[in-house]
Amino acid sequence: MGKVESATEAVRRSLRTGKIVAFTGAGISAESHVPTFRGADGLWRNSSPEKLCTAQAFTSNPRLVWEWYDWLRGLIHAAQPNPGHFALTEMQQRNPGRFTLVTQNMDGLHERAGSQDVVKLHGDIWLLRCTTCGREGRNEQVPMEHLPPLCRCGGTLRPAIVWFGEMLPQDQWERATDAARGADIFLAIGTSALVHPAAGLVRVAQQSGAQVVIINPDPTPADEFAKWILRGPAGEILPRLL
Ligand code: NAD
């Protein structure tokens, strides 16, 4: 058995008992053709999300920020969940009561693949929140009819996404940290592990005794916490772990 195969087999064995946490980043959606922020075809390279994904940018030019999100929503709308998303759905179904899925993604592809009760650290691109009255509602219109979209109260709607410099939703963060502390095996999938505080979950899990598995074609700063590193695309590796 080759080195990669034996690591895959060891992870498969470890997944048979104990509490499992799957922690995903933009990389799991790369094979669905949703661009990542930092991979080879990352969003950062073609546009400047670091300038757009802030409350300040939105206040100064909501239309410009919305034009970018409208483009991204169109792209995500056309995307389909890939075998990586489906493998996690199956992992959840096979391990009732001992599997938690925590995602940094806002694309909703885990839910579209059938995953339940997903912990969403960075919000949801299909949920809009009024910057005046705070009301939230789902909106799946692609493309948006009017930019920026307006609330019934007349306020400007924004995507209910956690932008740079904003707090994570506290209930989701507590669920994620509780899950990481209680994990026996922690799969960090398709994340550059650079965006904090979310990236800190890998360390929390490792320090609480979990076996950390990194699934990523490229090295990440979280590799130092890993018991196993499975190099490659999530859509190929995750189905092999079932
Ligand atoms: P990131 O863009 O910083 O890193 C992506 C990682 O995925 C890289 O380490 C890359 O090597 C890896 N990767 C690329 N292709 C892969 C594949 N096929 N299989 C496995 N891994 C692969 O993403 P991040 O760590 O999630 O952090 C950035 C922030 O980006 C998050 O807050 C997230 O909300 C946001 N984001 C989300 C989406 C989405 O919802 N799909 C897309 C872009 C950015």
What is residue 123's three-state secondary structure? strand
Shortest-distance atom of ligand 1 to CA 107: 40
User: Could you tell me the distance, in angstroms and rounded to a whole number, from the CA of residue 195 to the centre of ligand 1?
Assistant: 10
For every residue of 11-78, DSSP letters joined together read: HHHHTTSS-EEEEE-GGGGGGGT---SSSTT-HHHHS-HHHHSSHHHHHH-HHHHHHHHHHHHHHHHH
User: Could you tell me the distance, in angstroms and rounded to a whole number, from the CA of residue 37 to the centre of ligand 1?
Assistant: 6
With a 6 A CB cut-off, is 89 part of the ligand 1 pocket?
no
The total of other beta-carbon atoms located within 10 Å of residue 62's CB is: 17
* Closest C-alpha to ligand 1, atom 43: 36
Q: What is the pLDDT of residue 53?
A: 86
Q: What is the pLDDT of residue 220?
A: 95
pLDDT digits (tens, 9 = 90+) for 7-38: 999 999 999 999 999 999 999 999 999 988 76
CA geometry: angle 96, 186, 83, nearest 5 deg: 70
Spatial CB neighbours of 157, under 8 Å, sequence gap ≥ 6: 128, 129, 130, 131, 139, 148, 149, 150, 151
Q: How far is CA 226 from the centre of its chain?
A: 19
Are the beta carbons of 179 and 111 closer than 8 angstroms?
no
Q: What is the pLDDT of residue 41?
A: 60
User: Could you tell me the distance, in angstroms and rounded to a whole number, from the CA of residue 152 to the centre of ligand 1?
Assistant: 34
With a 6 A CB cut-off, is 151 part of the ligand 1 pocket?
no
Are the beta carbons of 218 and 41 closer than 8 angstroms?
no
Residue whose C-alpha is closest to residue 111's, from 98, 99, 124, 129: 124
Mutation pick for ligand 1 pocket among 23, 29, 37, 109 (CB with most ligand atoms within 8 Å):
37
Per-residue pLDDT of the chain (242 residues; tens, 9 = 90+): 455 569 999 999 999 999 999 999 999 999 999 988 766 666 655 556 667 788 998 999 999 899 989 999 999 999 999 999 999 999 999 999 999 999 999 999 999 999 999 999 999 999 999 999 999 999 999 999 999 999 999 999 999 999 989 999 999 999 999 999 999 999 999 999 988 899 999 999 999 999 999 999 999 999 999 999 999 999 999 999 99
User: Could you tell me the distance, in angstroms and rounded to a whole number, from the CA of residue 25 to the centre of ligand 1?
Assistant: 4
Q: What is the torsion angle, in degrees rounded to the nearest 10, for the CA atoms of residue 163, residue 20, residue 205 and residue 54?
A: 0
Tokens of 78: 């056309």
* Closest C-alpha to ligand 1, atom 10: 39
With a 6 A CB cut-off, is 163 part of the ligand 1 pocket?
no
With a 6 A CB cut-off, is 81 part of the ligand 1 pocket?
no
Which neighbouring-strand residues pair with 41? none
User: Could you tell me the distance, in angstroms and rounded to a whole number, from the CA of residue 212 to the centre of ligand 1?
Assistant: 18
Shortest-distance atom of ligand 1 to CA 38: 2
Q: How far is the C-alpha of 91 from the C-alpha of 101, rounded, in Å?
A: 10
Shortest-distance atom of ligand 1 to CA 24: 26
Q: Is-above-0.75 flag for pTM?
A: yes
